[in-house]
Structure 1
Amino acid sequence: MRSTYRVFAYLVAGGVVVQAASVAFAWFTVLQDIDAGGVFDKNAGANPGHYTHAIVGMGLIPLLAIIFLIVSFFARIPGGVTWAGITFGLTALQVGLAFAAFSAPVVGTLHGLNAFALLVVPVVAARHAKRPVAVTA
């Protein structure tokens, strides 16, 4: 169960990496389209980068974070539930910040900064789980 805990921690962190790559792809695609004479306005459709960012951010990462939290209760890792709980909390905050940023774009800055925490915390959790557990006789 310890290795399952580590896998889900790394999957959450990997999802954040996919998020960063997909949002960069999305907006560089928009810029390329504008350079080619296209128009980006309220009638413009989303591109594959936007779709990937939405699917991974609103579906996959929250699902992985929930599974990670559930697994943490069975993994018997000292502090494991705490790290998974923080990861879940950061995930919920990230989704909330994303929705808030549509009304107040400056909140998007916090969304971006929280992504760094959401990358680092599960990696720290996974590394913490790799430590050997002291066995008492």
Structure 2
Amino acid sequence: MKSTYRVLAQLIALGVVVQAMSVALGWFLVLKDVDDGAVFDKNSDFNFGQVTHGTVGMMVIPLLAIALLIVSFFAGIDGGVKWAAIVFGLVALQIALALVSFGVPAIGALHGLNALVLLAAAGVAGKRAATAQPTRVTDAETVSQPPAV
């Protein structure tokens, strides 16, 4: 379970990187199209970068965050549940900031900042799993050994 936790946390961090790349791609494609004479307005179709940003941000990362939170209860990582909950909360905040940003564009800056915080939190969660010590066997779980002679 520790490796599953680690992989999920790393996939969330990778998803944030994909988000940054895809939003940049999307807007540079818009700028290129406008330079080429196209008009970008409310009737414009979203391009590949914009669609990727929306899909990864509204579906992939949230599903990974839910899976990380569930796995955290079984992974036996010290502080694992706390970091998974932090990641989950940041993902929920990220979605809320995105939705609010359509009406109040200045909030988009907080959306970008929160993405960096999410990247860091997912990185910390993954690192904690990678450096977690193996679960120790307690005295109650030890198998009886015959006395030494």
Q: Which residue is equivalent to 1:64?
A: 64
TM-score normalised by L of structure 2: 0.89
Question: Retained in 1: the 8 A contact 2:13–2:118?
Answer: yes
CA distance in 1, matches of 2:90, 2:33: 34
Counterpart secondary structure, 2:105: coil
Give how far 1:35 is off.
0.6
Q: Hey, which of these two has a bigger chunk of helix by percent?
A: 1
Distance 1:132 1:16 in 2: 24
Deviations 1:39-90 (A, max 9, x none): 1111111101111001000000000000000000000001000000000000
Partners of 2:45 and 2:51 in 1: how far apart? 10
Q: Distance in 2 between matches of 1:2 and 1:43?
A: 47
Partner residue, 1:94 = 94
Mapping 1:44-123, distance limit 5 Å: 44-123=44-123
- Tell me the percent identity: 58
Residue 88 of structure 1 aligns to which amino acid in structure 2? F
The structure with more radius of gyration: 2
The alpha carbon displacement at 1:100 in A equals: 0.2
Measured at CA, do residues 126 and 48 of structure 1 come closer, stay the same or move farther in structure 2, by a change above 3 Å? same
Say if 1:132 and 1:94 are closer, same or farther in 2 by CA, change over 3 A.
closer
> What TM-score, normalized to structure 1?
0.96
- Distance between the aligned counterparts of 1:113 and 1:87, measured in 2? 14
- 2:37 paired with 1:28: no
Distance 1:77 1:130 in 2: 10
How many residue pairs end up in the alignment?
Answer: 137
Structure 1: gaps spanning 5 or more residues: none
Aligned mates of 2:38, 2:73 — CA distance in 1: 51
Q: Tell me, what secondary structure is at the counterpart of 1:16?
A: helix
Q: How far, CA to CA, are the matches of 1:96 and 1:64 in structure 2?
A: 17
What is the rounded CA distance, in whole Å, between the counterparts of 2:126 and 2:40 in structure 1? 41
Give the unaligned 5+ runs of structure 2.
Answer: 140-149
| Separation of aligned partners in 1, 2:74 and 2:2 | 9
